[in-house]
């Protein structure tokens, strides 16, 4: 009876660890800013979520243009039609669609993530792994 309980606890611990490692592995496989820069055509017209630090921000007419960078300094432009409450240096999580070109003011910019949602977030826990 005691051996059966111990066996059940070990099995439960094992499957709990497998679930945690699977979640970490899936998070590590998500699309990164570096992936967008290497093969932008692979991600065109797909809904993506990326995390990065705001490096620059510029308001052009009704749009806000952000440049965000990941922990390895790969950068991507983000266009938002709504005001953004993040400032330079803040970590943000952006969900949107990567488009080949977009018009911002009277200029055309290429490989832009058109944001549907921008929210503040914390920086990466393990910056060297992402």
Same domain, 26 and 36: no
Q: Tell me the backbone φ, ψ of residue 32, rounded to 5 degrees.
A: -110, 170
**Residues 79/97, Cβ–Cβ less than 8 Å:** no
Token pair 């992936």: residue: 35
Task: Specify whether 66 is located in the same domain as 83.
Answer: yes
Do 49 and 94 fall into the same domain? yes
Question: Closest by alpha carbon to 51, among 32, 35, 78?
Answer: 32
Q: How many domains does the chain have?
A: 2
In a domain, 126, yes or no: no
pLDDT reported for residue 3: 58
How many C-alpha atoms does 41 have within 13 Å on its Cβ side?
A: 0
Taking the C-alpha atoms of residue 78 and residue 71, their distance in angstroms, rounded to an integer, is: 17
- Whether the predicted model's global pTM rises above the 0.85 cut: no
- Are 70 and 10 members of one domain? no
- Name the residue range of residue 70's domain: 32-120
Query: Which ranges constitute the DSSP H helices of the chain?
Result: 2-28, 33-38, 40-43
Note whether 46 and 82 are same-domain residues: yes
Residue 74 maps to which CATH number? 2.40.50.140
- C-beta contacts of 15-21 below 8 A and 24+ residues apart: none
Q: Is residue 67 located within the same domain as residue 55?
A: yes
From first to last of its 130 residues, the chain has per-residue pLDDT tens of: 555 676 666 667 766 666 666 555 555 556 788 888 888 899 999 999 999 999 999 998 889 999 999 888 899 999 999 888 889 999 999 999 999 999 888 889 999 999 999 999 887 776 655 4
Question: Is the same domain home to 73 and 47?
Answer: yes
Place of tokens 């969900």: 95
* Per-residue confidence (pLDDT) for residue 73, from 0 to 100: 87
DSSP strand pairing (47-60 vs 91-104): antiparallel
């Amino acid at each position: 009876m005691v051996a059966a309980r111990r066996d059940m606890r070990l099995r439960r611990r094992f499957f709990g660890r497998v679930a945690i490692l699977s979640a970490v592995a899936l998070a590590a496989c998500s699309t990164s800013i570096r992936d967008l820069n290497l093969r932008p055509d692979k991600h065109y017209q797909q809904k993506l979520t990326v995390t990065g630090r705001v490096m620059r921000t510029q308001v052009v007419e009704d749009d806000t243009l952000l440049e965000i960078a990941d922990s390895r300094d790969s950068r991507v432009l983000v266009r938002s039609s709504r005001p953004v409450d993040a400032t330079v240096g803040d970590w943000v999580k952006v969900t949107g669609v990567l488009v080949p070109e977009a018009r911002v003011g009277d200029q055309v910019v290429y490989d832009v993530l058109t944001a549907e949602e921008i929210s503040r977030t914390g920086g990466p826990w393990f910056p060297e792994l992402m």
